[in-house]
Amino acid sequence: MTTVTVTASRSYDVEIGSGLLQALGARAAGLVNGRHGVIVTDTNVAPLYLAKAEKSLKNGGFTVSTFVFPAGEASKNGKTWLELLEFLAAEHLTRGDLLVALGGGVVGDLTGFAAASFLRGIAWLQLPTTLLAAVDASVGGKTAIDLQNGKNLAGAFYQPTGVLCDTDTLATLPDEIFADGCAEVIKYGLLNSKPLLEKLAAENFRAAPEEIIAACVAMKRDAVIEDEYDTGTRRMLNLGHTVGHAIEVCSGYGISHGKAVAMGMMVIARAAVKKNLCLPEVPEKLSALLERYHLPCRTEYTVPQLYEKALSDKKRLGDTLTLVIPTEWGASRLHNVPVEELPDWIAKGLES
């Protein structure tokens, strides 16, 4: 097992390894004084792991309630969030009790925002069951729901009390869901780790994911410690996300986050090359790596469609938007762009 400690407004451990779902109750009992736990999960994960999580919490001395909502990004909205808050109130949860997010990024985002909101803040644990959540969404305290005009536009920075990343849960992931997580792993390599990119190109890590997950979590840990509230260097983690989020919204969330980020990275890499800000080899290498992990490299959406949705990006400050651009293979930087120049960036990124 690997442990990565995040030192932020709340310090906590991210534990990565096999069999951690069975340890949930014991870990939870050592973190909170209350003994009522609410497991929040979705209709995909519940048949696989809810019973195990319930049993572990009960063995740890907890009374357990469960809230299960329809799987998918379309459920990460104000309606589901309010339903969860009403459920917690009906269950008479106290500030000493616990929420458990059992699932992928949608479950974690929704549960975390509920934890930040209910009684002005209660403890919550992350149990990521997807690669994407394990390497990225479960760490760092970004919680949110989507609004009609954009993704993650309502939320809070609220660190979890702990993260238990049971690598056994990744074995049940369909190939395309595992591929979504690979997009975020590739993102970390493109940001600042050429060795990670080389490792991804040389071997398939699905059979033994702990090392790769720990490397990504450590990189995110460093970003969170330096810039918890995402006003400076932590914004680097948004590589591919400005256009990626626009693609998701344009598709009505029919295109998954990982696939959208993959396309978003390619758009920004191509554009950066055409603007002489990135080495020409980067898009070609990135395309080959994305294809190796069964991720798309192009989007069919037009400049006007993507621009309209990108205007709601939460990284926009007035008339300026901060893009993350790759500069070479394994290195990226922040680049401020006037909003009126964004269509040209998107257009150049959509070109061959």
Contact (Cβ atoms closer than 8 angstroms) between residue 155 and residue 109: yes
Distance between CA atoms of residues 31 and 37, nearest Å: 12
Distance between CA atoms of residues 221 and 264, nearest Å: 23
pLDDT band at 262 (very low <50, low <70, confident <90, very high): very high
Q: Is the pLDDT of residue 315 over 90?
A: no
Of 131-140, 199-208, 248-257, 309-318, least confident by mean pLDDT is 309-318
Span 147-159, mean pLDDT? 94
Q: Which candidate, 139, 161, 143, 162, places its Cα nearest to that of 152? A: 143
Span 169-173, mean pLDDT? 94
Give me the phi and psi of 39, to 5 degrees please: -90, 125
pLDDT for position 314:
64
pLDDT band at 246 (very low <50, low <70, confident <90, very high): very high
Q: Is the pLDDT of residue 318 over 80?
A: no
pLDDT for position 352:
76
Span 187-194, mean pLDDT? 97
Q: Is the pLDDT of residue 160 over 90?
A: yes
Alpha helices in the chain (DSSP H): 24-29, 51-59, 78-90, 105-117, 131-132, 175-192, 194-202, 210-226, 241-250, 257-274, 281-292, 303-310, 342-350
pLDDT band at 6 (very low <50, low <70, confident <90, very high): very high
Tokens representing residue 99 in the block: 């929420």
Phi-psi region of 295 (alpha: psi -120 to 50; beta: other; left: phi over 0): beta
pLDDT band at 133 (very low <50, low <70, confident <90, very high): very high
pLDDT for position 117:
98
Single pTM value for the model:
0.93
Q: Is the pLDDT of residue 312 over 90?
A: no
25-38 residues labelled b (16+ CB within 10 A) or e (exposed): bebbbeebebbbbb
> In the predicted model, what is the mean pLDDT of the chain?
96
pLDDT for position 95:
96
